[in-house]
């Protein structure tokens, strides 16, 4: 009997689920419903596309036609799923009912927009779909100044793009430093300075109070001061889109995402729900660095979750483990990356964090092109386990943050890291003792002095 797999959502999680289900079961009938117009594109690229560094037509990897013809996956675009009946095992969409054997829900997240006046004016945008990006790009033509609300990584990348296009850019952040959710102030401040050197202005400790204008944006008020501008971008965080899980009675976690098993199945009053898998920005994960829940709303996490959901939905076996959620961003000439907990997030888990820090170079001291690198590592003062890291470097942050992620995931203590960790070395790509190791040395000293 041919298995019928229905997938709701065509983002990174949904489309990965579809492809992984196809690889696992070559015969299954696979149907995807999405409200989006395009499928299989990377949200993360929007800032670069708005800047013109990447062409729009290069972003979309495959069309719905490609999926139909090459992968035998049917995609209904611009089609909303109105309801799911998990007893009858059907979904209703566009007036029709579709039966499923397995259902993957990957309905993503929604940009949180603060409940203030003026967010419906012309010139207010969010950054969520390809169309948002295109709309921003065409609206930009008549814009001199932009206010970006939210100094998370997406806000900053948009700010960089606008700045590169010659716009006057002001980033407005409610908290006291940029990238507040995942970076500590001491690591965020140098990036802020770097962005200021490129002409971007920052207003911190200032919640957005209103968007002003008649018909279209003329300014934004934050911290009781008005900043004139013709465009406002809300990059104020993503909330799990839990409408459908709530309608189905699925358990929602403390952080607002759907609680799932390692197989990515939801629960209903504490009981595992069969034949339904949830992936992407909707779910609450388990932290790899602390006992407790964690959100992991990253493209890379969505792909991994989609893969697990797709394999399980099609009869394979896969698990999704605890998350450290490593991330990396390029901000002008600097890369900033992080993994696991920051000081701020550690305190949420009741963890007393101790940190070590070191500065060095990305190549041997004498080798041309060496750039600065600063690494911060955190351990919890009770077990001495590594729980987080952040770094700023001119190059090479990605692999190094994955390295530290691996150490966090495997429960390595700071002291054991020093005894057992090694780094590859050659003059054009590293120092003989990598700055990551120097930072852990500093951490061990701090732990000893505690």
CA 122/CA 216 separation, integer angstroms = 4
Question: Which residue in the set 128, 167, 177, 329 belongs to the binding site for its own copies (CB under 8 A)?
Answer: 329
> Does 272 engage in binding with its own copies (CB under 8 A)?
no
Kindly list the strands in the beta sheet with 231-234, ordered across the sheet, starting from the edge strand earlier in the chain: 124-126, 231-234, 145-149, 168-172, 201-203
Binders of its own copies in range 140-169 (CB under 8 A): none
Binders of its own copies in range 208-247 (CB under 8 A): none
> Does 421 engage in binding with its own copies (CB under 8 A)?
yes
Cβ-in-10-Å burial (0-12, 13-18, 19+) of 368 comes to: exposed
**Region of 57-65, 71-79, 139-147, 348-356 interacting with its own copies (CB under 8 A):** 57-65
Question: Which residue in the set 45, 127, 240, 283 belongs to the binding site for its own copies (CB under 8 A)?
Answer: 45
Considering the candidates 44, 229, 285, 444, report the single residue annotated as catalytic: 44
Question: Which residue in the set 6, 14, 48, 145 belongs to the binding site for its own copies (CB under 8 A)?
Answer: 48
| # chain residues binding its own copies, by CB under 8 A | 72
CB of 434 to its own copies, least distance (A): 7
> Does 334 engage in binding with its own copies (CB under 8 A)?
no
CA distances from 321 to 261, 262, 283, 285, 286 (A): 10, 6, 13, 8, 8
Binders of its own copies in range 93-112 (CB under 8 A): none
CA contacts within 13 A on the Cβ side of 132: 19
CA 418/CA 89 separation, integer angstroms = 53
CB of 370 to its own copies, least distance (A): 11
> Does 383 engage in binding with its own copies (CB under 8 A)?
no
Determine the Cα angle at 50 with ends 49 and 56, to 5°. Answer: 40
355 is catalytic: no
Provide the token pair at 307. Answer: 């893969």
Q: Quick one: how many helices (H) and strands (E) in the chain?
A: 13, 28
**Region of 31-39, 243-251, 326-334, 352-360 interacting with its own copies (CB under 8 A):** 326-334
**Region of 30-38, 110-118, 119-127, 322-330 interacting with its own copies (CB under 8 A):** 322-330
Q: Which residues are catalytic?
A: 44
């Amino acid at each position: 009997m041919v298995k019928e797999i229905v997938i709701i959502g065509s983002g990174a999680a949904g489309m990965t689920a579809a492809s992984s289900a196809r690889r696992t079961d070559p015969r299954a009938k696979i149907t995807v419903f999405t409200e989006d117009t395009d499928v299989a594109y990377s949200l993360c690229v929007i800032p670069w596309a708005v800047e013109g560094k990447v062409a729009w037509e290069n972003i979309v990897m495959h069309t719905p036609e490609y999926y139909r013809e090459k992968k035998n996956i049917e995609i209904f675009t611009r089609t909303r799923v109105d309801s799911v009946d998990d007893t009858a095992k059907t979904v209703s969409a566009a007036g029709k009912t579709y039966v499923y054997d397995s259902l993957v829900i990957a309905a993503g997240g929604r940009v949180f927009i603060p409940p203030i006046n003026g967010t419906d004016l012309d010139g207010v945008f969010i950054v969520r779909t390809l169309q948002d990006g295109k709309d921003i790009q065409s609206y930009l033509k008549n814009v001199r100044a932009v206010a970006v609300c939210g100094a998370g990584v997406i806000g900053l990348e948009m700010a960089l793009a606008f700045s590169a296009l010659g716009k006057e850019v002001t980033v407005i952040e409610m908290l006291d430093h940029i990238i507040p959710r995942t970076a500590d102030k001491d690591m965020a401040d140098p990036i802020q300075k770097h962005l200021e050197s490129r002409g971007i202005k920052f207003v911190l400790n200032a919640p957005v109070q209103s968007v002003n204008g008649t018909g279209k944006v003329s300014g934004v008020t934050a911290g009781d001061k008005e900043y004139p501008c013709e465009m406002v971008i809300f990059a104020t965080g993503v909330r799990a889109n839990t409408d459908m899980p709530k309608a189905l009675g699925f358990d929602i976690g403390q952080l607002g995402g759907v609680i799932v098993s390692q197989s990515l199945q939801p629960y209903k009053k504490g009981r595992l729900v069969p034949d339904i898998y949830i992936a992407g920005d909707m779910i609450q994960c388990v932290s790899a660095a602390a006992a407790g829940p964690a959100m992991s709303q990253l493209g890379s996490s969505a792909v991994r979750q989609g893969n697990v959901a797709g394999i399980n939905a099609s009869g394979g076996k896969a698990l999704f483990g605890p998350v450290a959620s490593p991330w990396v961003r390029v901000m002008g000439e600097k890369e900033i990356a992080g993994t696991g907990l920051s000081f701020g997030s550690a305190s949420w888990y009741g963890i007393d964090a101790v940190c070590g820090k070191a500065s060095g170079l990305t190549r041997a001291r004498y080798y041309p092109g060496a750039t600065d690198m600063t690494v911060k590592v955190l351990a919890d003062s009770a077990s001495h386990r590594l729980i987080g890291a952040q770094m700023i470097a001119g190059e090479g942050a990605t692999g190094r943050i994955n390295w530290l992620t691996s150490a966090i995931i495997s429960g390595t203590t700071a002291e054991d890291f020093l005894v057992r960790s090694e780094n590859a070395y050659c003059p054009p790509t590293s120092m003989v003792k990598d700055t990551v190791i120097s930072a852990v040395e500093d951490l061990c000293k701090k732990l000893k002095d505690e």
